[in-house]
Amino acid sequence: MPTYLPFLPPCRLYKTQLCSFYAKGICARGNKCSWAHGELDVRPMPKFYKTRMCYTFLSGSYCEASKCTFAHTEEELRGSGKALRLCTKYFLDG
Instruction: Kindly list the structural domains of the chain, giving each domain's residue range(s) and its CATH number in brackets, ordered by start.
Output: 10-46 (4.10.1000.10), 47-94 (no CATH)
Cα separation, 82 vs 85, in Å, equals 5
The answer to whether residue 85 scores a pLDDT higher than 90 is no
Residues 6+ positions from 67 with CB-CB distance below 8 Å: none
Residues 33-73: pLDDT tens digits?
999 999 999 999 877 788 888 989 889 998 887 889 898 88
The answer to whether residue 82 scores a pLDDT higher than 50 is yes
